[in-house]
Amino acid sequence: MPAFPQRYTSTISHWQATNRGRGSLWNHGRHDPLPTEVLDYVIIGAGVTGASLAYQITRAGGAADGKSVVVLDAKDVASCASGRNGGHIAPRSWELFGPLTTPLEEGGAGLSEEDALDILYFEAEHLEVTAEIIRKEKLDVDLWTGQRLEVFTTDEGVRRNRELMAQFFSAKAKSAKHRHKKVDWELVADTAEAQRLTRLPAAKELIRGPAGSWHPHRGTTGLLRLALESKSSYCRFFSWAPVARLEQVDGGWALHCGERGVIRAREVVLATNAYTRHLFPEDMARGEGIPAHIIPYRHQACHITPPDSYAGAAALNNSYSVERGPYLIQTPAGGMILGPFSATVIDVFGSKRDMYPIEDDSGTTGKFRNWMAGYCPQNFAGWGQEKDGEGVDRVWSGILCHSVDLVPLVGRVLDKPGLWASISYNGHGMAKIVNITRCLAENMRTGVWDERLPRCFEITHARLERAKKCKPFLEEVKDGEKAKL
């Protein structure tokens, strides 16, 4: 894969900086020889997708029961997006109905209302599934469960929210599959109450619903360690083993890992997200297949040490997503993780070319740093003067993956027997991945699609062909206009 081994040093996130002890799996297997025997499964990528899938298939009775599994990563565990995100395990509310049901030609997913309901309830289930695994396995990952406030700050946002809420309830009432399910999201339409709950004077109304957060680097590490400790499978992890090329050989796969050598497997799973397209160089050159369906992009986030006015009993009680603003969580230690949504970048302080199609996470940019540093003092009531050591104290970047039809690509890779994928989460993977890999593991075990997984996630010829109708996403990004560090 041309992106690896990379020639630059990536930024370090708060999560990566706070999980470096002996149990962290940093450099695990880095200097060990790769296996020479033919393996049953190789998972490429040790982010949340690769780690949680390895955990699932190595459970007793799982797809890899009695079999060999190897997880490879081009760098370290959770070295890419999984260790650089906002830590937010937050299912979206009916607000997600907008992009999901908007026609492809207008920049949406072009899904039916039933498909949109499937995704919304799948995300709601994901929070429960993730929390259950964490508690069952006693993972020390700073799990928090509570409520997220989806905050609207413009009249247009309020109008659109009411419109989508009506569409959601109408669709739900017509759905035989979903009509009897509970709705955990609540509209808070009173402006004064919205401002009191959020401490944001710009708040006009909000949606309140279930959410969670965790330490994603420790979470990824914990799941992978459980796979390595499996009593029913033989699982190994090799860091710094970048896969440069895939080759079909004798009914299986050969993975060429540069100086590390070649590793062979009967089945391979791509948990490579934004970097997946480099494993299909012919399709990438022709602008076809999976490479034509996904676009890498860079986002930036920060850790904030709040002032006394937002500490202790005055710390935030909820996680946030704010129109024309950030996503935000409060960590158990009292810090905040904050970053802008793509729409915020485009509408408020930047453009698409500040994000797309960039694969370099070696630095951050001034406009992002300035916006993040100013957001809380300028928007939270009573934030006050930041003392030395308070405010933004770490900024980093990470590479995400945009799917042109806005939903992940999951399942068997077309026309390539023994090759699977789970990629392209549109910056919303923490609300889906653990549930996706639970279902994908069952699909791998039985050979049959797991009906708990939304069908619209499946990789099919029809879907890739249909996506050619998508509104051109990068039309404004011209040669020479990509963001510079």
Q: Give the pLDDT mean for 268-283.
A: 96
Residue carrying the six token digits 């025997």? 37
Residue 75 lies in domain: 14-84+217-294+405-469
**What pLDDT is attached to residue 483?**
41
Q: Does the structure show a pLDDT above 80 at 241?
A: yes
Give the model confidence (pLDDT) of 346-391 as tens digits: 999 999 999 999 999 999 999 999 999 999 999 999 999 999 999 9
Q: Give the pLDDT mean for 20-33.
A: 95
* pLDDT-derived band at 8, boundaries 50, 70, 90: confident
User: At which of 346, 368, 403 does a domain end?
Assistant: 403
- 406 sits in the region (left: phi over 0; alpha: psi -120 to 50; else beta) called left
**What pLDDT is attached to residue 471?**
85
Half-sphere exposure of 274 (CA within 13 A, CB side): 27
Residues 198 and 276 in one domain: no
User: At which of 403, 428, 461 does a domain end?
Assistant: 403
Q: Does the structure show a pLDDT above 60 at 415?
A: yes
The mean pLDDT value of the chain amounts to 95
Give the model confidence (pLDDT) of 209-238 as tens digits: 999 999 999 999 999 999 999 999 999 999
In percent, the amount of the chain with pLDDT more than 70 equals 96
DSSP assignment string, 347-400: III--GGGTTT----S---HHHHHHHHHHHHHHSTT--PPPTT-EEEEEEEEEE
**What pLDDT is attached to residue 3?**
57
Task: Determine phi and psi for 402, rounding to 5 degrees.
Answer: -100, 130
The two three-digit tokens of residue 474, written as one number: 């990068």
Give the model confidence (pLDDT) of 134-171 as tens digits: 999 999 999 999 999 999 999 999 999 999 999 999 99
**What pLDDT is attached to residue 385?**
95
**What pLDDT is attached to residue 484?**
38
* pLDDT-derived band at 2, boundaries 50, 70, 90: very low
* pLDDT-derived band at 485, boundaries 50, 70, 90: very low
Q: Does the structure show a pLDDT above 50 at 118?
A: yes
Give the model confidence (pLDDT) of 165-199 as tens digits: 999 999 999 999 999 999 999 999 999 999 999 99
Distance CA 436, CA 445 (A): 14
Number of domains in the chain: 2
Residues 195 and 299 in one domain: yes
User: At which of 380, 403, 426 does a domain end?
Assistant: 403
In sequence order, the 6+-apart residues with CB closer than 8 A to the CB of 311 are 334
Residues 380 and 299 in one domain: yes
* pLDDT-derived band at 417, boundaries 50, 70, 90: very high
CATH value at residue 353: 3.30.9.10
**What pLDDT is attached to residue 6?**
73
Residues 225 and 180 in one domain: no
Residues 233 and 163 in one domain: no
pTM of the model as a whole: 0.95
Residues 319 and 443 in one domain: no
Q: Give the pLDDT mean for 392-412.
A: 97
Q: Does the structure show a pLDDT above 60 at 317?
A: yes
